[in-house]
Amino acid sequence: MTRRDVLGILAFLGLVAVTAALGSVYTSMSIPGWYGTLPKPDWTPPAWVFGPVWTTLYLLMAAAGWLVWRPAGFRGARLALTLFVVQLAFNVGWSLLFFGMRQPALALAEIVVLWLVIVWTMIVFWRHRPLAGMLFVPYVAWVAFAGVLNAAIVG
């Protein structure tokens, strides 16, 4: 790996780490307090599951972004990398709406848009590098599950 490759992967890891940190600011404001009081379905995962799942998903996202960026940089993958950043912004936005603002109904509408942007990103990534697209499959599945859970909480 070249110096450029190492700096690139560090940049993608940093970008997803900032995303995770911003999301966790809003999440930590409501757990265990407000979130703990919400009526949730029996199939809600225990709280300890979310950290390892999101850590794994963020690592997969960073790897996918790097794989798309690596051959041609930002100029060669402008749409793909723009979508990557947009889906990260929506990712934080969901945490802000759901946990920070305590608006599960608004968060439900937002997670639908988030999911669509993630799928679009996955498709565009796939066109650049199939492995990068495949690395988004668990993220698409988890956000779909989160959307169903969000819908169940809204009622």
Letter string b/e over residues 89-113, b meaning 16 or more CB atoms within 10 A of that residue's CB: ebbbbbbbbbbbeeebebbbebbee
Across the chain, mean pLDDT equals 96
CATH of span 3-154: 1.20.1260.100
- Look-up: residue for tokens 């639908």? 112
Q: Which of 12-16, 37-41, 105-109 has the lowest mean pLDDT?
A: 37-41
pLDDT, one tens digit per residue, over 33-68 is 889 899 999 999 998 899 999 999 999 999 999 999
pLDDT, one tens digit per residue, over 66-82 is 999 999 899 999 999 99
Domain edges within the chain: 3-154
pLDDT, one tens digit per residue, over 112-127 is 999 999 999 999 999 9
Any residues with CB less than 8 A from the CB of 38 and at least 6 apart, and which?
A: 104, 153
